[in-house]
Amino acid sequence: MREIFDPIERSMAVEAIVMEGNKRLYDSDKFRYQRFYGGIATSGSRGCSLRCLFCWNFERNDNPAGAGTFYSPEEVVSRLERIAKRNGTDLARISGAENFLGERSAKHLRDVISNSDLSYIVETNAVILGFQPDILDMFENLRNFRIRVSYKASNGLQWEKLTGSNAYGFAYQQKAIREIQARHIPLKVAFMPQFVNPVEIDVSGYALEEENMKYYSGVKARLDNAGIKVIRRGY
């Protein structure tokens, strides 16, 4: 039986590890070009508020204090723009962890986006945005980004089984989606059909994106150990 934790407390604890002033902890070898979204410059940060069993980055996020380098927003932008130019894309993202752990990580992200000519896809579980929605106001005047919320589960009980955090996280995610919409920030909600039935999601005002789960190393064992059966629905 997994020990259920508070996602807000974990966010604060992890942010204290991965933030140093305005610098965030990144894996130096995770700055690269990827073919997602039609081609995108990607950087890999460290630290997440959840422990999703199906995450490709489970072990690294379980140990956010591992080896890495603290980079300022300007240093992140410089690296991403070089990668983008070399590969002929104008898209960028910070991946591998949670972008919104609290105010400090949010300010780091804002400064990356505001100092860059690239367009950013901001991937997030959105829990902190539901808990502290005024964080979104930092991004009010920015136009070169859109948010992609990873919709983890169909209900609070399933959320606890999959993410390890208590069901309040599920409620915060729902609230965050409404708060993002209220600010007219471009939004897409991604779901895994193995765990989420899209007919249960209110899609008014934003687009849905199906994202099939991949069996990265350790995923099947973690799901089996938790007694979670994977269902591939057809629509």
For 166-189, what is each residue's pLDDT tens digit? 999 999 999 999 999 999 999 999
pLDDT of residue 201: 84
In a domain, 235, yes or no: no
In a domain, 2, yes or no: no
Are 18 and 60 a contacting pair, CB within 8 Å? no
Average pLDDT score over residue span 68-94: 98
Report whether pLDDT(51) > 70. yes
Mean pLDDT for all residues in the chain: 93
pLDDT of residue 232: 65
Residue-range definition of the domain harbouring residue 102: 7-225
In a domain, 129, yes or no: yes
Report whether pLDDT(127) > 80. yes
Give the whole-angstrom CA distance, residue 202 versus residue 211.
17
pLDDT of residue 235: 46
Looking up residue 14, the CATH number of its domain turns out to be: 3.20.20.70
Give the whole-angstrom CA distance, residue 223 versus residue 169.
20
Report whether pLDDT(138) > 60. yes
In a domain, 232, yes or no: no
Average pLDDT score over residue span 208-234: 86
pLDDT of residue 92: 98
Q: What is the pLDDT of residues 87-118, one digit of tens each?
A: 999 999 999 999 999 999 999 999 999 999 99
Burial class (CB in 10 A: 0-12, 13-18, 19+), 126: buried
Average pLDDT score over residue span 20-37: 96
pLDDT of residue 16: 97
DSSP state of 203: -
In a domain, 71, yes or no: yes
The count of domains in the chain is 1
Average pLDDT score over residue span 78-89: 98
In a domain, 1, yes or no: no
In a domain, 12, yes or no: yes
In a domain, 230, yes or no: no
